[in-house]
Amino acid sequence: MAETKNCKQCQKQFTIEDDDLEFYKKISPTFDGKTFEIPVPTLCPTCREMNRLAWRNEISIYKRKSDKSSKEMISVYPADRKDYTIYRSDEWWADDWDALDFGFEFDFTKSFFGQYNQLLIKVPRVGLFNSQTEDSEYSNFAIGCKNCYMSSVIYYDSENTHYSYVAFTVRDSIDTSFCNNTDHSYACTTLNDCNRCFYSYRLTNCSDCWFSIDLIGCRDCLFCSNLRHKQFCIQNKQLTKEEFQAELKKYDFGSYKKVQEYINKFNDLRGNTFVKYANIIKSEDSTGDDLIECKNAKKFFNGTRIENCKYSFRGIDYKDSQDFMGGNAERVYNSQNTGWGSDYLFCSNAHRSNNLIYCESCYDSHDLFGCVGLRKKEFCVFNKQYTREEYEKLVAKIIEHMQKTGEWGEFFPLSISPHAYNETIASNYFQHDKKEILELGGKWQDNDFALEYEGVFYEPADDIIEYKDEGKQGELLSGILKCEVSGKPFKIMPQELAFYLEHGLPIPRKHFNVRFKERFEMRNPRKLYHRQCMCEETGHGHDGKCPNEFETTYAPDRPEKVYCEKCYRQSVI
């Protein structure tokens, strides 16, 4: 029967629903002939997600030396993080060391998490999640990429893409976030199958669109919203090709000052348009946002082909799971960055494995409990090898111990995360100050390892046309710019300048971290509100205000008019 509880972290009430209880029972593991039930969570879904993401540093990278070879490396661990052993990626994946060498027997007089922290500190850690890449050593969570700089969560043959975040098959683009199969685009968020799009949000199958929002199948559009399969439009007004080209000449996209005016106009457009309550496509019985081909995905955000899952975000091809982030897995609970396997409980960074419980950075393995950094192993506890029979009996005994200490069913605490909270992606989704995090037992990074500069800052020309001159190019590339928001110094890279020149875009005046934050904040927070459709248009099958209700990420105090699916479809042009 459903329960109402108070979160022990934020003190807010939350509900354990009937299907949650069924799920916990379904995934409860059995060892030595005894089933160990997963207890109901003590934290609300928001705090559970925050704690998981505090183990995930996606965008904070540093220069340091490898603890194995002393070679210079790019790492998610700063040089002052001396309590951990950090290897370069190629060194960590090499076969000349074995994480079993760092194992030890479990001590039943001590807490599980206290001992697990000792193991985390002893076992070498990979400095950067970067594999099968070429000329992309400054990118994190990068796989199969080429010539990508300062980008993270970038996969699937992305190439020549810089300062981007969550980029899947994105090519020749800069400053993009949450984009898929997109080329030659700039300063955009949530693009799918797009080409040559600029300063826009939530476009699908579009090209040559500027300062636009929520377009599908459109070409050559400027300051447009909610259009479908249109071409040659400005402010949703249909023009001929000749009229469009004549109007377009009145805009100067190469001037930084003019572009700031256009951005302000675009922001006004975003606030004064009507929107669909959620971006849920080809899905059934699902709630959340940005869902594609999902079935029974509840309170889920950014999911593709999700089935019977809940309380999660950024997932693809997942089934029968709750509280996770990752791809291609099933029967997962309270874990982050797990995939290509099944039965992950309370895990972090585990792939191509099965039956892992309380494991971190383990790969190509099965039947592990409380392990760190293992590859191609089985029946291990705290990085020590056991027979199947020994493993079953020991794990059962440890879980019984954890039940007594109150640790069983809890994710790894903030206190033993190898990252400072303000380094992790959790700080972007859940903003807390240092005092709050320290009170929760987390770490905080006070040192600023950014480039220090006390000289004269370079002032970029307003219009990109000035940099067709090679002398001017040399001055820009050798100069140090000052962020107009944060005051931090930054440089323009040669490949970056080439992109701006090719597309006639002005030199940015903001540090790339500031630009990332601005794009990040374009997306709605992952919180649902129960609301009624705001449509009052005639001809939509209702008298006065539409009676349809729904769950939406648009808060009641937002300026947009939020429509249900039916009214939205009838309103788009």
Name the pTM for this structure. Answer: 0.94
Residues 6+ away with beta carbon under 8 Å from 300 = 286, 287, 288, 291, 294, 306, 309, 310, 311, 312, 313, 315
Map residue 466 onto helix, strand or coil: helix
Q: What is the pLDDT of residues 393-428, one digit of tens each?
A: 999 999 999 999 999 999 999 999 999 999 999 999
Q: By the 8 A CB rule, do 78 and 62 touch? A: yes
- The rounded distance, in Å, linking the Cα atoms of 192 and 168 is 10
Strand partners, 349: none
pLDDT at residue 450, as a whole number:
75
* DSSP characters over 181-215: EEES-EEEEEEEEEEEEES-EEEES-EEEES-EEE
pLDDT at residue 204, as a whole number:
96
pLDDT at residue 456, as a whole number:
94
pLDDT at residue 32, as a whole number:
97
Beta-strand runs (E) in 461-502: 481-482, 489-490
Low-confidence ranges of the chain (pLDDT < 70): none
Q: By the 8 A CB rule, do 412 and 348 touch? A: yes
Distance between start and end Cα atoms, the chain: 47
Strand partners, 498: none
Q: What is the pLDDT of residues 74-96, one digit of tens each?
A: 999 999 999 999 999 999 999 99
pLDDT at residue 400, as a whole number:
98
